[in-house]
Amino acid sequence: MASKKASGKDRADTIKRLRIQLDLTQEQFAAKVGVTFSTVNRWEAGRSRPSPLAWREIERLSDKVRKVK
């Protein structure tokens, strides 16, 4: 059970870190991923997790950040 919480927190931290690297507000990030502001807020708080479709979009944004560096 603890490992699920840790992985959820890791995912929440990853999403927030990416959003900050992209210099986006939660609303702007939500628009890029195709979800609502409140959804991004819940992800970053660890209260929910992205759907597989949303996670693929987050990974696509993450790949863009890596290519720029």
How many whole angstroms from its chain centre is CA 48? 11
Q: Give residue limits of the domains in the chain.
A: 2-68
pTM metric for this prediction: 0.85
Instruction: Report pLDDT digits (tens) over 21-39.
Output: 999 999 999 999 999 999 9
Other CB atoms within 10 Å distance of the CB of residue 43: 27
How many whole angstroms from its chain centre is CA 43? 7
The CATH number for 2-68, chosen from 3.40.50.280, 1.10.260.40, 3.90.550.10, 2.60.40.10, is 1.10.260.40
Other CB atoms within 10 Å distance of the CB of residue 32: 15
Q: How confident is the model at residue 60 (pLDDT cuts 50, 70, 90)?
A: very high
In order, the DSSP letters of 11-35 are HHHHHHHHHHHTT--HHHHHHHHTS
